[in-house]
Amino acid sequence: MVRLLLAPLLLAACAVAPSAPAPAPAPVHHSAERDFDNDGIVDPKDRCPREPGDAPLGCPDKDFDGDGLKSSVDKCPQVAGPAPDGCPPPDADNDGVGNADDKCQGTFETLNGFQDRDGCPDTVPRDLTRLTGTIKGVVFDTDTDVLKASSKPALERAATVLKRHPDVRIEISAHNDNISKDEGDITARRAEAVKQRLVELGIEDKRLETRGASANEPVDSNRTTAGRARNRRVEFTILVQ
């Protein structure tokens, strides 16, 4: 009987009991504090806001250029290069021409004195080839360094070719036979005389080097008149740059 009387009272008590407090709403983060990828770096400072990464940029430590080095140690992360810094070498094809000036990456420069600074293989043009070796027609008064007037056409032709190829440098060497007078090394003075005539014809001084070879480099026997005549000569050699 007592239980029956208590039941309605308990029900009434439950009906008037206060409800439990509602949970507090989640805090709203301002955009300056948001960390979308939850990597500890807020979005305004995160270079990769959708991908967890490392400080200070918030990007994952990846090998972006596929050279085997992570971006944390790769100083050239967008260009493949070897360890330790991940950057391509200054001369990738090792031909003596730096990457910045090399027009033919992956092929070797031909070092022949003609366009040696572009990094490309090449051959010496025919007009330059004809300019090398003994320059026929360049002659001097006997035992002097005075050019004969008959030398003018040969040197004018040489100047024309050199103007056509302004990057080419040459060595002018003068040679003698073994019986001519060579006081004070006349061959050195003869080579210089040829140089000065080319300068007068418009060739820059810095493109010309001279050498007196005396009688040390004969191309024929000095026992005959014809042989000695061949040994008295002026030669042009294209200089490798």
Tens digits of residue pLDDT in 135-193: 999 999 988 999 999 999 999 999 999 999 999 999 999 999 998 876 678 999 999 99
Q: Could you tell me the fold of the domain covering 126-238?
A: 60s Ribosomal Protein L30; Chain: A; (3.30.1330)
CB 108 within 8 A of CB 102: no
Question: Which position has the higher pLDDT, 148 or 58?
Answer: 148
Taking CA atoms, 202 is separated from 40, 157, 159, 206, in Å, by 71, 12, 7, 12
Residue 155's identity, in one-letter code, is: L
For residues 130 and 117, is the Cβ–Cβ distance under 8 A?
Answer: no
**To which residue do tokens 């250029």 refer?**
65
- What is the chain's mean pLDDT, rounded? 81
pLDDT at 77: 80
pLDDT of residue 25: 59
* Sign (positive or negative) of CA dihedral 89, 91, 93, 94: negative
CA distance linking residue 123 with residue 166, whole number of Å: 16
In this structure, are residues 60 and 53 in contact, taking their beta carbons and an 8 Å threshold? yes
5 has a pLDDT exceeding 70: no
199-210 pLDDT per residue, tens: 999 999 999 999
Q: How far is CA 238 from the centre of its chain?
A: 23
CA 105 to the chain's CA centroid: 9
| Position 1 confidence tier, pLDDT thresholds 50, 70, 90 | very low
As a whole number of angstroms, the longest Cα–Cα distance in the chain is: 158
pLDDT at 9 over 70: no
Q: CA Rg, the chain, in Å?
A: 43
Distances (CA, A) of 174 to 157, 185, 206: 18, 10, 18
Domain ranges in the chain are 42-88, 126-238
